[in-house]
Structure 1
Amino acid sequence: MPFTIAIIGRPNVGKSTLFNRLVGQKLALVDDVPGVTRDRREGEAKLFDLNFTIIDTAGLDEGPKGSLTARMQEQTETAIALADALFFVIDARIGLTPADRAFADFARRADKPVLLLANKSEGKHGELGAMESYALGLGDPIQISAEHGEGMGELYDAVSKLVPPTDDEEDEHEETDEERANRPIRVAIVGRPNAGKSTLINHLLGEERLLTSPEAGTTRDSIAVEIEWKGRGFRIFDTAGLRRRSRIEEKLEKLSVADALRAVRFAEVVVLMMDAQNRFEEQDLRIADLIEREGRALVIAVNKWDLMDGNPGQISMLRRDADHWLPQVAGAPIVAVSGLMGEGIDRLMQAIVEAYAVWNRRVPTAALNRWFEGAIADNPPPAVSGRRLKLNYITQTKARPPSFVLFCSRADAIPQSYLRYLTNSMRETFELPGTPVRITLREKANPFAHKRKRPN
């Protein structure tokens, strides 16, 4: 029997949207009206290289015995009984509701592995709702957007720990931490058309595996290849060139670009390839900004370096240019390469490994708050409207990328410039070059807020 996962949660949290994304087809009807799904629906899901059966269910709800709502609930309970694990989905934009808390107890009683998925997590409100979901006691929430395909890489990492290996091994065993650490690093190679992405991958493989041509747009699909470098495995995705949206006219190119964006979301490290003779153009900066927003580790590869004149100091100039044009990922590794001649390939692979390690880094809480106290003492937060801002403490909620929650008063009043100061100071202190750093502001609950003033 294939491994089976049931998607459960209250109505209208995005269960059917997630189901459609995992099966790769719009099998389940989706609408803003709650209760569209009534029967359970099964499909063959594919998440990266994982294959399993997924069951879409009706929203958990209560109703009198014999009613339509009650029969829908019975269908959901049957799906839970058939499943090996559960996806418990909440709406991060709305936050926790009493129904979420009640159904979290229902999920726990099922006595099966439960992955808590905070759907619709894009944007500031989604981040805050995801943080609230810790109160359910179902472990760390996985922040996703089923509609936009965000967070699928993090979901893959969690599901891969549950789905048993598919090959017929006589001595099956549970995957160890060391084996997980040795899993291939997922790398997407992106850039403008004709930057030399396929040529570089062909040199890594040592064969003409991918079509190359001087004509831009040769690559259309995102092609995945497996390579090994110094004993470490890599799964590398070659993608279609990304042009400005205004220049994309053909439907086929639109689909190719969408496929490339999906590759970025599945990747752990993204290599942005630029042409050495036309580097840091507007589209390069837009792609780098997209990678940062997706929360992926970034490595910049300046290709066709063999065509440059070789004047001393050009590498230092690359570093200065990168920090000037891309301050949001200051310190991102930048490597000069030639995909055609094979120059700089080892330096590029080493940069990928190091960027992956930084992307996974966790900072000890004690060291984090020692830094925090020093950073505030060196540069206190400004007073806004004559009132002092109070910053209480900071904690890291997750890695991949390093993400932190800062507890404070008046979160909406803290200037973005002060957050940038904290981010840059953190990068320098804890050696987090290039990787996106997320700081979410959260106001501490006022213990006296429930007390009303007595009438005079």
Structure 2
Amino acid sequence: MTFSLAIVGRPNVGKSTLFNRLVGKKLALVDDRPGVTRDRREGEGRLGDLTFRIVDTAGLEEATPASLEGRMRAQTEAAIGDCDAILFMIDARIGLTPTDRAFADLVRKAGKPVILVANKSEGRGGEAGTLEAFGLGLGDPIPLSAEHGEGLSDLYDALCDALPEQTRLEEEDEEEEEEEEDDADEVPVEGEAEPEKPRRPIKVAVLGRPNAGKSTLINKLLGEDRLLTGPEAGITRDSISVNVTYAGIPLELFDTAGLRKRSRIDDKLEKLSAADALRAMKFAEVVVILIDATRPFEEQDLRIADLVAREGRALVIGYNKADLVPRGGLATRLREEIDHLLPQVKGVPIVPLSGLMGHGLDKLVAAIASAHKVWNKRVATNPLNRFLQQVTENHPPPAVSGRRIKLRYMTQPKARPPSFVLFCSRTDAVPESYIRYLVNGIRETFDLPGVPIRLTLREKDNPYAD
């Protein structure tokens, strides 16, 4: 039986470091300064034979509800309400602070099992702080070093004591697993319909400039305030993954930090956030570039789109806050501008929407599903070679240095994105303009709008070369 844990504590006690340790990956951003984590991040944690859902939260701070720190605290309190047990963490090297004591009362009122963790206890520097932790009245503190992985065996024992039902594998569970294995071995009877396999969610990364409305849009798709939002630019730091099924289409959405020009980024933390956003883009299948309608299409939007195309991901452009600008000819102007500036993804879907009001969400999800389908599309070899014959008859490749270039054969070895191989003579002599002509022809003939197309030229070895 699985369970969920929430790591809470004041800022800069090592919550994200322990989260990364239990997940086994460096998912959460870690830095020496306090207040790095803002949104709550979830992951699959493992400790020995235990598997559980672990939630990293923002540091608890005293603040007014309307402030950014107050909204961060509300996210942490929501995580406390959803979890089965709480890991309350203190800094053993600093010892107890008035903030620790105040939030220990908050955790105690939650009425859930609490495991007190004294982090940074390696060496003798943390002994005094560990002894002070007894004064919180939350049970025996566990000396731990999240950075070096010390004390995890004691944490395992504490989890088993705090959640005996969830951490014990009962005999009934084992029998159910054996029955499931037996059922899996059974051959389906002819004529009976096989159960449909659940659809794998489409991985979608939402990119854009700061304050374009990425977190607000994802919250509206989820139907809850899952991600931290506000009028301040640059609130999101970590790339947060959430799952949602909208209009019957399962999606795994990645909220990312706003991307500015590299020359304008001086802060180390912003560099880490930008790198995390680009990593989310590389692991996504479809990328939604969100443009603020109140700010015109800028060079940074082009740079992001070009980066997505070079990475080979399907692309959808969301024109957010479209309810704040007049509509007269907006879609037509934007289509002409994007097709002119981004010819490598010509025909990319453009969806006017409002993440705050919830307008255009159906069209956005439909565009994501359509782009994902095109991104996975494969074309048979026979139609490809008929296309090649037709285009060479209409517009043969130019002769270079008085010698003709022969286009022999074309095939598609893979999709995601659609990638084609053209066998021809003198590959180094084929002009770039003719390659673009072939790519545009493939896009129009086989209906591949809005995705990057890879075309590789290959030349067969000449058996008489030696």
**2:389 pairs with 1:389:** no
Q: How does 1:213-362 map to 2 (within 5 A)?
A: 213-311=230-328, 313-362=329-378
Paired residues of 1:401 and 1:438 also in contact (CA < 8 A)? yes
Aligned residues: 290
* d(CA) in 2 for partners of 1:436, 1:187: 16
Distance 1:215 1:407, change over 3 A: same
- Decide which structure has the larger Cα Rg and report it: 2
Q: Which amino acid aligns with 1:235?
A: E
Distance 1:170 1:269, change over 3 A: farther
* d(CA) in 2 for partners of 1:295, 1:385: 34
Paired residues of 1:279 and 1:302 also in contact (CA < 8 A)? no
**2:188 pairs with 1:179:** no
Residue in structure 2 matching 1:365, options 378, 381, 389? 381
Paired residues of 2:24 and 2:45 also in contact (CA < 8 A)? no
Distance 1:343 1:290, change over 3 A: same
RMSD: 2.4
* d(CA) in 2 for partners of 1:169, 1:294: 44
TM-score by length of 2: 0.59
* d(CA) in 1 for partners of 2:396, 2:45: 49
Q: Which amino acid aligns with 2:240?
A: I
The answer for the alignment partner of 2:437 in structure 1 is 421
Q: Which amino acid aligns with 1:179?
A: K
1:23-55 CA distances to partner (integer Å, 9 max, x unpaired)? 757xxxxxxxxxxxxxxxxxxxxxx9899xxxx
* d(CA) in 1 for partners of 2:268, 2:25: 19
Q: Which amino acid aligns with 1:278?
A: R
Shift of 1:309: 1.7
Q: Secondary structure at the match of 1:350?
A: helix
Paired residues of 2:216 and 2:229 also in contact (CA < 8 A)? yes
Residue in structure 1 matching 2:420, options 387, 395, 404? 404
Shift of 1:230: 2.2
Distance 1:177 1:413, change over 3 A: farther
Q: Which amino acid aligns with 1:405?
A: V
Shift of 1:384: 1.2
TM-score by length of 1: 0.61
Distance 1:170 1:299, change over 3 A: farther
Q: Which amino acid aligns with 2:234?
A: G
The answer for the alignment partner of 2:206 in structure 1 is 189
Shift of 1:319: 1.4
Q: How does 1:149-168 map to 2 (within 5 A)?
A: none
Distance 1:178 1:373, change over 3 A: farther
Q: Which amino acid aligns with 2:266?
A: E
